[in-house]
Amino acid sequence: MFSHSELLDLYRRRAKRYDFTANLYYLVGFREWKYRKTAVAALRLRPGDTVVEIGCGTGLNFRLLEEKVGANGKIVGVDMTDAMLAEGRTRIEREGWNNIELVQCDAGRYKFPQNINGIISTFALTLVPEFDEVIRRSADALSPEGRWVVADLKMPNSAFKYLYPALLPIFRPFGVTLDLSDRHPWESIAKYLDEATVQEYFLGFTYIAVGEARAVETCEPRD
Ligand SMILES: C[S@@+](CC[C@H](N)C(=O)[O-])C[C@H]1O[C@@H](n2cnc3c(N)ncnc32)[C@H](O)[C@@H]1O
């Protein structure tokens, strides 16, 4: 597993070419854009909504999120790597979006604003050692019916898992190591949110987990 500073270093080095290299995964059948679109659709955002993206990187999801929340909505992109956010800032300026706030922060230390309509993380949350704590704390920050969506890599439960030695070297340049397969953010989604679902893709090496904000108890039960 890469340490925090090694990950930071790695993403600083990869930032400029991140968007290009991400597309190369199509060569092994990894349908990156299908997963992004499915994940963003699962948020069920409406015009005017506020969405937080954890580990937003260079902002590859921003256009998809913009299409949902519109000019009156708000997107907050959180990432620990300055160089990745710099690429994101260039994208925002190029596109003329003026409703995206970028926050350089470790996800484990980020203080979520209240009453947000959606939280998303694509191919980032498993890299965060405190992923369970991040989901637990942020679940309370969601508005009623607000949704948390995670798209990320995992180890399949089926015999396809034996293909991992072929795939791991392809994802390792982005900090993915075998021991990260012990991290299960989809279980945290099920633990802290309602209506949790998990859909698998790419032979079970990828998943999209969705959960909805728990209804607030308005009445204490009598002893
Ligand atoms: C594989 S990239 C994914 C970027 C983007 N979500 C996407 O789908 O293209 C992983 C991102 O997670 C960020 N990251 C890793 N660990 C983090 C942490 N503890 N806190 C915040 N960001 C983190 C990295 O800086 C990097 O930008």
Cα-to-chain-centroid distance, residue 221: 36
Look at 97-101, 111-115, 145-149, 217-221 and tell me which has the smallest mean pLDDT.
Answer: 217-221
C-beta of 79 in contact with ligand 1 (< 6 A)? yes
Q: Is the distance from CB of 76 to CB of 97 less than 8 angstroms?
A: no
Counting from 1 in the atom list of ligand 1, the atom nearest the Cα of 53 is 6
The predicted-structure confidence for 7-17, as pLDDT tens digits, reads as follows 999 999 999 99
At residue 150, does pLDDT exceed 90?
yes
The predicted-structure confidence for 176-215, as pLDDT tens digits, reads as follows 999 999 999 999 999 999 999 999 999 999 999 999 999 8
Average pLDDT over residues 98-102: 98
C-beta of 81 in contact with ligand 1 (< 6 A)? yes
Buried (b) or exposed (e) across 64-93, using 16+ Cβ within 10 A? bbbebbeeebbbbbbbbbebbbbbbeebbe
Counting from 1 in the atom list of ligand 1, the atom nearest the Cα of 60 is 9
Supply 92's token pair. 């925002």
Supply 160's token pair. 């396809």
CA distance 78 to 101: 9
- In 3D, which of 216, 213, 140, 203 has the Cα closest to residue 166? 203
Q: What is the pTM of this model?
A: 0.95
- In 3D, which of 99, 43, 109 has the Cα closest to residue 76? 99
CA distance 106 to 79: 6
Partner residues linked to 122 by β-bridges: 151
Supply 219's token pair. 């009445």
Counting from 1 in the atom list of ligand 1, the atom nearest the Cα of 128 is 19
C-beta of 84 in contact with ligand 1 (< 6 A)? yes
At residue 223, does pLDDT exceed 80?
no
The predicted-structure confidence for 16-57, as pLDDT tens digits, reads as follows 999 998 888 878 888 999 999 999 999 999 999 999 999 999
CA distance 188 to 132: 6
C-beta of 83 in contact with ligand 1 (< 6 A)? no
pLDDT confidence of residue 171: 87
User: How many residues are given for the chain?
Assistant: 223
Average pLDDT over residues 63-84: 98
DSSP state, 129? T
Q: Which domains does the chain have, with CATH numbers?
A: 4-212 (3.40.50.150)
